[in-house]
Amino acid sequence: APSPQEDPILIRPFHGHTAAVTGVAFNANAAGLGEGGPGAVTCSVDRLLILWKLTTQCRAYRFEGHAEAVTSVDYSPDGQVLASASHDHTVRLWIPCIHGESSVLKGHTASVRSVSFSHDGYSVVSASNDKLIKVWSVCYQRLLFTLFQHTGWVRCAKFSSDGRLIASCGEDKSVLIWDTRDKVCVNTFSDYEGFATFVDFNPSGTCIASAGSNNTVKLWDIRTNKLLQHFKVHRAGVNCLSFHPSGNYLITASTDGTLKILDLLGERLIYTLHGHKGPVLCVAFSKYGEKFASGGMDTQVFLWKTNFDTLDYEEVLKHNFRRTHIDDPPHLLDIYPRSSHLHDENLNSIEVS
């Protein structure tokens, strides 16, 4: 049997939100919030952002300000600013300190569904039910430009790593690629089986992955416009996805209550993670991919250790070949958080101060 060190494990659950957890992001700069140490931020329908310090003491800080449910949150690359989006039609920028001051970016006329930083940290992009995508200056806290071509609610918008492109998806069943210099749509991927709920670029910026309301995950090559991979592994809509920084793995979060880890080189599912009670709404890898965090309708935030990414990719293949060769594929390795190889002391949950 494979040793547990090779498989993802739950490090600990975090309790603090009182409603569905809708977004999660890691601080890429470990020296955030004064006393140092890595952190993650979550947002919720309860209108709060919670900043979790992932040190041994595990402090947590609540940020209040939004008047309605918070739908999305992101950390600036340098860890100095948080951005959040809300049903209250606003985007907020926060300084992640104990006082938690924020400034409000107004311009959308309906719920804002997504907010994301550019990789240089100078801009954020927001997507809204008003069918618009807006790009804002972080430093000057003002609108830079608006992109419009979607004919339905826009669910998600993300910058490519070089900042030259934005990918967006909406309930008009299209995924659009925008040029940020010319401010025009340069590519369209249509999907008539359902709409994409989430989209992101792979780390190299050559592909996009979309999460579908029709239970599927699709990967497109944006240079050739070809559909590269089409995963039908979930039993309900896919709400979120995150690329491992290596670009070799993708994690997905679904309304079916599971997280799934896809091996993109082998084009197959390698893990199914259980633990959330009800839909899983958000998931994100940490900057170096050694951890990931998930949040769900059950108000819980789970912090996981990746483990398999420390193995050489050839080892992962061998490990999974051994595992899948016994049964007809796809054989799924199911991970349950409270399985025997987890020690109870690792599962102390963290309450918010």
The CB-based long-range contact list for 146-153 (8 Å cut-off, 24+ gap) reads: 146/107, 147/178, 147/183, 147/185, 149/176, 149/185, 150/174, 150/176, 152/195, 153/110, 153/113, 153/128, 153/129
Q: Into how many domains does the chain fold?
A: 1
**Does residue 338 sit within a domain?**
yes
pLDDT score for 5 = 60
The pLDDT value recorded for residue 327 is 37
What is the structure's pLDDT at 177? 98
Q: How far is CA 301 from CA 18, 127, 129, 158, in A?
A: 11, 24, 26, 23
- Which range of residues forms the domain containing residue 282? 4-166+246-351
Residues of the chain with pLDDT under 50: 1-4, 31-36, 323-331, 338-350, 353
Determine the Cα–Cα distance for residues 63 and 96; give it in Å rounded to an integer.
9
In CATH, what number is assigned to the domain containing residue 326? 2.130.10.10
Instruction: Look at residue 335 in the predicted model and tell me its pLDDT.
Output: 72
Look at residue 182 and tell me if it is in a domain.
Answer: no
Is 194 inside a domain boundary?
no
Would 155 be classed as within a structural domain?
Answer: yes
Question: Is 81 within a domain?
Answer: yes
Q: Are strands 301-305 and 291-296 parallel, antiparallel or unpaired?
A: antiparallel
- Residues 28-47 have pLDDT tens digits of 875 444 444 579 999 999 99
Cβ-Cβ contacts under 8 Å for 283 (sequence gap 6 or more) = 24, 240, 241, 242, 251, 252, 253, 259, 292, 293, 294, 295
Residue 323 lies inside a defined structural domain of this protein: yes
Q: What is the pLDDT of residue 190?
A: 84
195: left (phi over 0), alpha (psi -120 to 50) or beta: beta
Q: In this structure, is residue 315 part of a structural domain?
A: yes
Model pLDDT for residues 224-265, shown as the tens digit of each residue:
999 999 999 999 999 999 999 999 999 999 999 999 999 999
Whole-number pLDDT of residue 352? 55
The pLDDT of residue 56 is 66
Bridge partners of 337, per DSSP, are none
pLDDT at 340: 33
Q: Where are the beta strands (DSSP E) in 160-216?
A: 165-170, 174-179, 184-190, 196-201, 207-212
Per-residue confidence (pLDDT) for residue 309, from 0 to 100? 81
> Could you tell me if residue 42 is inside a domain?
yes
Burial of residue 223 (CB within 10 Å: 0-12, 13-18, 19+) is: exposed
pTM of the model: 0.89
